[in-house]
Structure 1
Amino acid sequence: MAEAFSSLVDAFKNVGVSRAYGAPVQLDGEELIPVALVSFGFGGGSAPASEDAPAGSGGGGGGFVLPLGVYARSRGGCVVFRPNPVAVLLGLAPVVCAVGLTLRGLLHGRR
């Protein structure tokens, strides 16, 4: 079990802010810094042997990266965020659903 835990620690050692903000990229003479939403998770468990089933254990994990946009310098020299419209819509979908369900519940409760 200790070997499995140490391999998980090694696999997720570099996860953090460096995964959300990428290395600067030069494109057409402009420096861009990519920004992403990074999420991951893992878990595991075990069960002792019983009369009906043998002992067992298992685990798993997964994650995703959603590119949100880039930071770039505007013509005036200020740093601005340029969002990826498709990713922003995908990221806001759960929020919109949650707000809609909440409003529905509040309105339904007033009847």
Structure 2
Amino acid sequence: MADLVLKLADSVKSTVGVHTAYGEAVTLDDVTVIPVAVAWFGFGAGEGPQEPDVGSGGGGGGASLPIGAYIKDKTGVRFEPNPIALLAVAIPFVWVATRGIALVFKALRRRRRR
């Protein structure tokens, strides 16, 4: 099992983490669209003691988030963001940021009362 994990790690050394992925360019009526996504993946494996009733396992997964597309037309090249992906990232970010700011103000108010 350890050999499998080492082989997997060696095969993905250069691609660990989050990377930008570009899709195949599509051309229609002199307009070229190149989709852009952020992709990430991970995997793991485990091995227990060499006893008959103890098992081992492994797994992995990945995801990609389409963030937009590069559009090439007569006016030039521009990036068009995907509004759904922006909302998917912005809503949790704003919630966490406002929650954090509220906690900071609450701590400052407690400190002032002492």
Name the TM-score, length of structure 1 as normaliser: 0.73
Residue 72 of structure 1: CA displacement? 1.0
1:97 aligns with 2:95: yes
Q: Which residue of 2 aligns with 1:65?
A: 64
Residue 108 of structure 1: CA displacement? 1.4
Alignment of 1:39-58 (within 5 A): 39-48=40-49, 54-58=53-57
The alignment-based identity, stated in percent, is: 39
Question: How far apart, in 1, do the equivalents of 2:72 and 2:40 lie?
Answer: 27
Residue 9 of structure 1: CA displacement? 6.0
Alignment of 1:1-111 (within 5 A): 1=1, 2-3=3-4, 5-6=6-7, 20-48=21-49, 54-73=53-72, 75-77=74-76, 79-111=77-109
Instruction: Tell me, yes or no, if the aligned pair for 2:31 and 2:73 is still in contact at 8 Å.
Output: no
Q: Alignment RMSD, CA only? A: 3.2
Residue 49 of structure 1: CA displacement? 6.1
Runs of 4+ in 1 over 3 A off after TM superposition: 3-10, 12-19
Question: How far apart, in 1, do the equivalents of 2:105 and 2:39 lie?
Answer: 35
Instruction: Tell me, yes or no, if the aligned pair for 2:48 and 2:55 is still in contact at 8 Å.
Output: yes
5+ residue gaps, structure 1, are none
Q: Which residue identity lines up with residue 38 of structure 1 in the other structure?
A: A
Q: Could you say which structure has the larger radius of gyration?
A: 2
5+ residue gaps, structure 2, are 110-114
* Number of matched pairs: 107
